[in-house]
Structures are given as structure tokens and as C-alpha cells.
């Protein structure tokens, strides 16, 4: 599963906030972890998620979605996952 989070400050909802793209096999658990973390910083988290075929496809989708969103002007919390280049379907360096 691939997901996009919109993270914004609950005390300043007029600010645009940041985004986070991730992949997980347990969306409920992962969202709980994100919300628990950001709650400590007075932030709210809104999520959009969709299923993909397998973990390899999830990582590939994640690595393509991040640069696309950055090109469109979205600001990211972090975007190191955009550098994924190897996937489990036999791709080699």
C-alpha cells in the first residue's frame, strides 16, 4: 500500500504544511505511528492511500510519486525514499 500524508500545524491551519509519501503493509499501524509522532508537535495528519500489487510496486510508485509531487510544488517532510532504484523484480545496479 502507498500513502500520502498531509501534515499541518493544528494551531496554524492557514499554513500549507508538508507532505510525506510512504509505503507499508499495515496502513492502520503506520498511520497510528505517524499520528502519535506528529501529535507531540501540535500537528494533524490527513492521509490518502491506495493498494498496489506488491511491495516492489509500492516502492516503485513511491519513488516516482515523490519527484512528481515536488515538481508540482509540494513541500516534503523528507523525501529520501525517492532515491529507491532497486526493486525485488530482478533489477540490478
66-88, pLDDT tens digit by residue? Answer: 999 999 999 987 755 545 444 33
Its pTM stands at: 0.78
Task: Identify the residue whose cell numbers are 505511528.
Answer: 33
Closest CA to 81 of 72, 69, 90: 69
Q: How far is CA 68 from CA 15, 28, 36, 74, in A?
A: 22, 26, 28, 9
CATH of range 2-83; options 1.10.10, 1.20.1420, 3.40.1000, 3.40.1440: 3.40.1440
What pLDDT shows up at residue 11?
A: 85
What pLDDT shows up at residue 14?
A: 86
What pLDDT shows up at residue 79?
A: 56
Q: What are the tens digits of pLDDT across the range 12-37?
A: 888 889 999 999 999 999 999 999 99
Q: How far is CA 78 from CA 10, 52, 65, 66, 72, in A?
A: 20, 22, 13, 10, 16
Amino acid at each position: 500500500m502507498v500513502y500520502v500524508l498531509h501534515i499541518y500545524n493544528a494551531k496554524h491551519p492557514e499554513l500549507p504544511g508538508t507532505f510525506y509519501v510512504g509505503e507499508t503493509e499495515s496502513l492502520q499501524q503506520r498511520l497510528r505511528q505517524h499520528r502519535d509522532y506528529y501529535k507531540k508537535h501540535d500537528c494533524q495528519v490527513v492521509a490518502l492511500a491506495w493498494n498496489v500489487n506488491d511491495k516492489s510496486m509500492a516502492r516503485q510508485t513511491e519513488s516516482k510519486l515523490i519527484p512528481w509531487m515536488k515538481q508540482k510544488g509540494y513541500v516534503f517532510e523528507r523525501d529520501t525514499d525517492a532515491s529507491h532504484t532497486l526493486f525485488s523484480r530482478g533489477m540490478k545496479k
